[in-house]
Amino acid sequence: MATPRAGRTQLRVGRLLKAHGLKGALKVELYTDDPDRRFTPGASFTLQVPEASKWHGKSVTVREFKWMNGHPVVFLEGVEDRTEAETLVRAILWIDQDQDEPAEPDAWYDHQLVGLDVVRDGAVVGTVARVDHFPAQDLLIVKAGEREVMVPFVAAIVPEVDVDGGRVVVTPPAGLFEDLPEDAPASEDDGAEPAGDADRED
């Protein structure tokens, strides 16, 4: 993923699901509550794709956005047919966003989460070391003692995020933290502030 410009951060707004029709359209899984604003013609997105993809390191520009049979569909400049559209399937779309722009509900910038205490059953079991973004879901990487634990960032497992209070509450499935002592010390954040945002899935 491209590095955002100084003074800005990046917001994940969608994932391209599948080609739609024969004219280059793609169905979109939305990660934004305001798609009509995010997907206006001329809007540019940084692509998160595998390094082997021909789109790695590139951006795309919206030509048209519409709803078809209840599904959001986007047309991108330079993508004129189904074959080309299929090369973009599973790509994640990011936009540059001003730091002072209001946040969307249940969406946090990575740097807001890094360093927060992770609380289970009222006890601190670690701290958020970073957030890893994947097409299926985001993962909180929790530093707990000498271990790193991957916690799916979904509402069923992370029911509460309290940035002002400096903590996230987790209700992990059996086995995720079981090898850790109940009072596992929280490690200090290394100071890194990954660019991006995390959306907790309901």
CATH code, domain carrying 30: 2.40.30.60
Mean pLDDT of the region 152-171 = 90
> Which of 71, 98, 125 corresponds to the end of one domain?
98
pLDDT at 101: 56
pLDDT at 173: 81
Query: Are 141 and 169 members of one domain?
Result: yes
How far is Cα 129 from Cα 140, in angstroms, rounded to an integer?
8
Query: Are 128 and 68 members of one domain?
Result: no
pLDDT at 102: 52
Residue 60 covered by a domain: yes
Q: Are 15 and 200 in contact (CB under 8 A)?
A: no
- Interval 104-121: pLDDT, tens: 556 677 888 999 999 999
Residue 62 covered by a domain: yes
Question: What would the two tokens of residue 80 be?
Answer: 């004129």
Token pair 């997105």 in the structure block, residue: 45
Question: Could you tell me what percent of the chain has a pLDDT over 90?
Answer: 47
Mean pLDDT of the region 93-110 = 68
- pLDDT over threshold 70, residue 65: yes
Query: Are 115 and 135 members of one domain?
Result: yes
Query: Are 120 and 93 members of one domain?
Result: no
> Which of 98, 120, 155 corresponds to the end of one domain?
98
Query: Are 62 and 139 members of one domain?
Result: no
Query: Are 73 and 115 members of one domain?
Result: no
CATH code, domain carrying 123: 2.30.30.240
Mean pLDDT of the region 1-23 = 72
Query: Are 92 and 130 members of one domain?
Result: no
Query: Are 53 and 130 members of one domain?
Result: no
Query: Are 146 and 87 members of one domain?
Result: no
List the beta bridge partners of residue 65: 74
Mean pLDDT of the region 173-193 = 54
- Interval 35-56: pLDDT, tens: 988 999 999 999 989 889 999 9
- pLDDT over threshold 60, residue 192: no
Scored b (16 or more CB within 10 A) or e, 99-126 reads eeeeebeebbbbbbbbbbbbbbeeebbb
Query: Are 66 and 142 members of one domain?
Result: no
The one-character DSSP state at 111 is H
Q: Are 131 and 141 in contact (CB under 8 A)?
A: yes
Give the range of the structural domain holding residue 40, as residue numbers without chain letter: 8-98
Query: Are 122 and 85 members of one domain?
Result: no
Question: Could you tell me what percent of the chain has a pLDDT over 70?
Answer: 77
The structural domain count of the chain equals 2
Query: Are 92 and 174 members of one domain?
Result: no
Q: What is the overall mean pLDDT for the chain?
A: 82
Does the pTM surpass 0.85? The reply is no
pLDDT at 155: 82
Residue 2 covered by a domain: no
Mean pLDDT of the region 141-164 = 89
> Which of 98, 125, 158 corresponds to the end of one domain?
98
